[in-house]
Structure 1
Amino acid sequence: MREIKGGYIDGRWTESAASGRIDVTNPATGQVIGRAPLGCKDDVAFAVAAASNAFADWAALPVAERIAILRRARDGIAARGEEMATLITEQMGTPIGFSKAAQIGLPLRNFDVTLAAMEDIAGEEVSLGRSRIVRDPVGVVAAITPWNFPLHQIVAKVVPALLAGCTVVLKPSELTPFDAAVFAEILHDAGVPAGVFNLIFGGADTGAALVEHRDVDMVSFTGSTRAGRSIAAVAGGKLKKVSLELGGKSANILLDDVDFDKVVPAVLGQCFVNAGQTCAALTRLIVPARHKERVEQLAAQFIEAWQPGDPSQPDTPMGPLASSTQQARVKRKVAVAQIEGARIVAGGGELPESLSDGAYMAPVVLSDVHPDMEIAREEVFGPVLCILTHEGDEDAARMANDSEYGLSGGVWSADEERAVAVARRMRTGQVVLNGAMLDLEAPFGGVKQSGLGREYGRHGIEEFFNLKAITRP
């Protein structure tokens, strides 16, 4: 049983001022595997004060020294990668193979890209007219991260903020506190000065206190659109800078020239990876109307490759959902979709008795889905794929844009230029062509109700600067 008694604040571990504890549950077994502090306003105040006091010296530190410290931190994650992958699997149920490849692999790659981008930025001198343009670090950053890619999201916020010269208070999800604690140990061992990075724990109340604190200059948040709206409202009242990476209901468009036998297995993976608990999951599959039955048949054929199982086994493709609450929520959405007229054409069957104690759910493909159905409009965050139909390229792009979200998207075509033409019409933060993998050098973020700001690489670092013009006579 793991026990975290307090946060990492001002360079040391300190017991939380709150007496309450949050149970951390393994969703594969339903068993409590540890506890973390509930957190409170006193913890927030202590951490923000430490970050405020450390800011001036950290911002003044030469960029090369900040880079060197963070490079040591990157190596620390690599050295403890197996340990952290296991912790992530135990906390939120993602299969151990995926944990090692993606839950650890992505943060390491993100570190490399961000460090290289900071080296480029540090070497730049920008002049416009009679002015020299200077990048100033924003100040104290509140980083609030989710449970679905816990370490990856921590790295995507904390590393660029620190490299830019900001100080940070991190509040991870209460579902996944243990990898964050290891991350704090790694930064400490890498030589991050006291107060520059601080870690507190807790739920929504702790997060709200952090957002509201007067000495927090910027909030970087990844999570639900509902929570993002609340954060934006509070931050707007105090004119804090915000970066919000929120929900999605992203469209995956198949044009009529694709090889459906090859493409359909891939699009199932674009939806079902990480049990569908991915903000950029491509959950609306928009296919040519005359090929709908063929797509349904192929989905039924290939969905067997995504049957859930024990996440501790290296060959398991999909684990449980992150909690029983999440499991119930996703199942309710599938039930509502059927009431509204959607039809299960693949998956959705009973699971083995051996999985009954966990938050498991069989993957589902729904067809006869219309754009006005709840399942086509609301984020599900589970292994549920919806099939909709289009009557051509223009119609497909129109359907993709018929959403309040705009985080990601996909287009498949045998003609890449045709795919690019459709992608250009889509109102979203990114579009992947023909199953392309995530590019961590490119900016990532949403439009519409999917958020504000960008993460990764140069664009991710730029979020943590304010521009200042120094003008000569």
Structure 2
Amino acid sequence: MKQLNEHYIGGARRTVRHKETILVRDSATEAPLAQVHLGDASDVADAVLAAQQALAGWQHIGAAGRASYLLGIAAALEDCATDLANEISREVGMPLKLSQRIQVDMPIAAWRATAALAETFRFVSDVGNSRVTMVPVGVVAAITPWNYPLHQITAKLAPALLAGCTVVLKPSELAPSATVRLMAACEAAGVPPGVVNIVSGGAAVGEALVSHPEVRMVSFTGSTAVGRKVAAAAAGDMKRLSMELGGKSAAVVLPGADLGQAVKATVSSCFLNSGQTCSATTRLIVARETYAQCRQLLADAAAAMTPGDPAEPGTRIGPLLSAQQRERVLTHIAEAERAGFDRIAGGSEAPVPTSGYFVAPTIFGNVAPDSRLANEEVFGPVLAVLSYDTVDEAIALANGTAYGLAATVWGPDATALDVANALRAGQVDVNGARFNPAAPFGGFGMSGVGREGGIYGLEEFLEPKSIQLPASALQA
């Protein structure tokens, strides 16, 4: 079992002084993987100081110089990509073939895509008699979750560094392998001391980081409940916030849609990473007259997703992260069963492997729109099916939650686009259109504030500063 007892502060690894630890287990076998040593507020103070001291020098080297370090990090991560995919798969439960592509290859590509923005993004522009300069926010606190560990770190760290900010990262202690690999990548790339600082820890470290007076921005991904606390703590110092929170995304299937395609894509999205995905389409909204047909399609799709060892090539759905996560999901399932919803697949008694944190892929139909299952994020492989009589009712159902992270629409192109425009969601896919990493990712309402991805993610870490100049100065 690994002992993970190092922070990365000021360009050096430091042994964790605090005595608190947590045990990380293999999600499929429950065997111990690592003991993670957690830091405290004193480690946060050291990391923020290191970031402050590095800030001026990091800004001085310019965007092109900063981009070269991003490319170095990408190259170092690529060197260990196969091992990292295996490690994340064991921690989180995503099948290995998906873990390689989604958990590792996509983030590495994102490091490179962010570096390329140095060549195209206008950090200085003239607007009338004003020179507008995009200025780095300063020291950034980045707090990331466990479900897509490297992806979420990359979505914050890469644009923050390109912008000229220095960062103190608090990654999830529940999926630590990506953090260990990132430390080594920063060393291999020769990132200057203090530019990237990593402090392992739980809630106490997060609270100390968010409330530190020299932190000028907090970029947080996690639950809406924790996001509220982060926002409240950051408000005292008027810190800038970028927050990607929970979701209860809807897939709206319109009359005339290809039901087979819509059902297959919705089930795949809902059960991706065992449902441990904030943007997963966890509500399927179908016309009442098509419910019986959709029900059969859903049952068939779920039957093809037998839970299994994520290391096996044929596995399509693996375990959840932990016993705690499994019990939380099973509680939602049991409540839906007591409510009498139409159980189409799975359920609390469905067979699953005896070891590991498995929950059977579960689908409930005829779900009441005001139920917890239709409104709360389960974060497990559970799909709720709701029915409508009119398209206006379908739109109302889709918009009928506090969240607004993502959605999909299926149907004739013109009608589907009209419905997509009516949905309150940060990103809407129409008829299976592919994900675009350069487009803004983020949500409305309780799904957060700010955006990640492309130039939109870069702009989150920049402040526009305008200097009004006389005509003679502009001409010069």
TM-score class, shorter-chain normalisation, is over 0.9
Q: Do structure 1's residue 459 and structure 2's residue 456 form an aligned pair?
A: yes
Q: Do structure 1's residue 430 and structure 2's residue 441 form an aligned pair?
A: no
Aligned-residue offset at 1:424: 0.2
- The question of whether the paired residues in 2 share the 8 Å contact of 1:368 and 1:388 is answered with yes
Aligned residue type for 1:407: L
- The question of whether the paired residues in 2 share the 8 Å contact of 1:85 and 1:104 is answered with yes
Partner of 1:270: 269
Measure, in 2, the Cα distance between the counterparts of 1:191 and 1:127. 35
Aligned-residue offset at 1:186: 0.3
Measure, in 2, the Cα distance between the counterparts of 1:195 and 1:97. 35
> Alignment partner of 2:457: what SS?
helix
> Alignment partner of 2:302: what SS?
helix
Superposition pairs of residues 32-431 of structure 1, within 5 angstroms = 32-122=32-122, 125-348=124-347, 350=349, 355-413=353-411, 415-431=412-428
Aligned-residue offset at 1:349: 6.9
> Alignment partner of 1:285: what SS?
strand
- The question of whether the paired residues in 1 share the 8 Å contact of 2:124 and 2:134 is answered with no
- The question of whether the paired residues in 2 share the 8 Å contact of 1:300 and 1:347 is answered with no
Q: 1:255-286, CA deviations, whole angstroms, 9 ceiling, x for partnerless residues?
A: 11012233322211011111011000000100
Q: 1:155-213, CA deviations, whole angstroms, 9 ceiling, x for partnerless residues?
A: 00000000000001111111111211111110121111000001110111111111111
Measure, in 2, the Cα distance between the counterparts of 1:360 and 1:436. 31
Aligned residue type for 1:386: A
- The question of whether the paired residues in 2 share the 8 Å contact of 1:22 and 1:202 is answered with no
> Alignment partner of 1:242: what SS?
strand
> Alignment partner of 2:121: what SS?
helix
Measure, in 1, the Cα distance between the counterparts of 2:314 and 2:185. 30
- Farther-moved stretch of structure 1 (426-435 vs 111-120): 111-120
Q: 1:357-387, CA deviations, whole angstroms, 9 ceiling, x for partnerless residues?
A: 2110100010110110010010000000000
TM-score normalized with structure 2 length: 0.96
- Farther-moved stretch of structure 1 (391-400 vs 45-54): 391-400
TM-score normalized with structure 1 length: 0.97
- Farther-moved stretch of structure 1 (13-22 vs 135-144): 13-22
- Farther-moved stretch of structure 1 (98-107 vs 456-465): 98-107
Aligned-residue offset at 1:351: 5.7
Partner of 1:5: 5
> Alignment partner of 1:121: what SS?
coil
> Alignment partner of 1:366: what SS?
strand
Aligned residue type for 1:447: F
> Alignment partner of 2:266: what SS?
helix
- The question of whether the paired residues in 1 share the 8 Å contact of 2:351 and 2:360 is answered with no
Partner of 1:440: 437
Aligned-residue offset at 1:352: 5.4
Partner of 2:28: 28
Partner of 2:474: none
Measure, in 1, the Cα distance between the counterparts of 2:368 and 2:460. 38
Aligned-residue offset at 1:472: 1.2
- The question of whether the paired residues in 1 share the 8 Å contact of 2:70 and 2:112 is answered with no
Aligned-residue offset at 1:6: 1.9
- The question of whether the paired residues in 1 share the 8 Å contact of 2:68 and 2:115 is answered with no
RMSD across aligned positions (CA): 1.3
Q: 1:419-472, CA deviations, whole angstroms, 9 ceiling, x for partnerless residues?
A: 110000001100011122321010000110000000011100000001101111
> What count of residue pairs does the alignment treat as equivalent?
470
> Alignment partner of 2:279: what SS?
coil
Partner of 2:473: none
Aligned-residue offset at 1:350: 5.0
Q: 1:29-71, CA deviations, whole angstroms, 9 ceiling, x for partnerless residues?
A: 1121111111101111111110011001101112111111111
Measure, in 2, the Cα distance between the counterparts of 1:311 and 1:28. 7
> Alignment partner of 1:160: what SS?
helix
Measure, in 1, the Cα distance between the counterparts of 2:157 and 2:256. 43
Measure, in 1, the Cα distance between the counterparts of 2:449 and 2:109. 23
Measure, in 2, the Cα distance between the counterparts of 1:472 and 1:138. 23
Measure, in 1, the Cα distance between the counterparts of 2:104 and 2:408. 25
Aligned residue type for 2:429: V
Measure, in 1, the Cα distance between the counterparts of 2:78 and 2:313. 19
**CA 236–349 in structure 1, closer or farther in 2 if over 3 Å, else same:** closer
